[in-house]
Amino acid sequence: MISIYRFDNGRTVKWDAPLGDAGPAVWIDLVMPTREEERHVEQMTGVAVPTLDEMAEIESSSRIYEQDGALFLTALVLANTEADNVVISPVTFVLAGERLITVRYHKPKAFQQFSERSGREGADCTNAARALMLLLESIVDRLADILERGARDIDALSGRIFGFENAAKAKGRGFEDVLVDLGRKGNLASNIRDSLATLERVGGFLALKLPAQGRDKGLRERLKTLLRDIRSLSDHTAFLSQKITFLLDATLGLINIEQNNIIKIFSIAAVVFLPPTLVASIYGMNFQFMPELHWAFGYPAAIGAMVVSAVLPLVYFKRMGWL
């Protein structure tokens, strides 16, 4: 699908006419394009639209480069972050003169927010470079919102883990659910870190190339601010990753404590029932000459011996603080 926007008085306006009539200053958004759509854009703009396989290359030289005067910038952008199955996929930004071309195969919410922001009065989308800057700012703002929500969720998980009075009260799937949630938050933090790393490389490349593109001092200042925001978010993501690791270790430790308590119960039960079993085994032997066999109080005495031999270990364990 191809969406075309013109820059009109500092804001973007949806263009429903043919691409060739949109003028030089346009934003072309390719969403899961077909090969025919790619060829159409290439014919009208003279820019080689990268394929998904080319966008997925991991080496920096394949993601960030300059070709025929156009800047090709590929970054990983998150989508579907409200659900459990977070999607992270590459998005390519092509800055070719007064044209901004974006190629993506998923639908990040940051693009929707950018469309809303750039369509307002005073959005300052007077050219392709400023539109690209506003788009990158929208992506970083979206990542900041995701991090804030993730931090709140991690704090809630911390309360669930350490809110238990003791590990034995965490019955059923309590700890299993916590481990699953921690795994999801860890995966989200890892994806955010990958996205921020690619965005920082994009910003660094732009910092080198934008001065050659023009003398827009305000744009360079915005780029510096954007890079500072990316670095601060990267530091915060690293902190959250460390906290997730700590909570994971704490959860596994509490699970071990719970398992040890269960084993302790069986061990105490075995020790308690061992002496009565010994007494019963002795008087269950079939020897002919046993003095207690014909004693009138033999049966009550044997029962009493078994009870006393069971109670004494319990009293000892209680005094030692093992129960």
- What is the CATH T-level fold of the domain 2-258, as seen in this structure? Beta Polymerase; domain 2 (3.30.460)
Domain boundaries, the chain: 2-258, 259-319
- What is the CATH T-level fold of the domain 259-319, as seen in this structure? Methane Monooxygenase Hydroxylase; Chain G, domain 1 (1.20.58)
pTM for the whole thing?
A: 0.75
- Could you report the per-residue pLDDT of 65-98, keeping only the tens digit for each? 888 788 888 888 888 887 767 888 888 888 887 8
- Could you report the per-residue pLDDT of 185-208, keeping only the tens digit for each? 888 888 889 989 988 888 888 888
Strand ranges across the sheet with 99-104:
11-15, 2-8, 26-31, 99-104, 87-96, 70-79, 64-67
Q: What is the pLDDT of residue 167?
A: 44
Q: What is the pLDDT of residue 20?
A: 60
Distances (CA, A) of 283 to 275, 292, 298, 301: 13, 9, 10, 11
- 172 pLDDT above the threshold of 50: no
Q: What is the pLDDT of residue 231?
A: 92
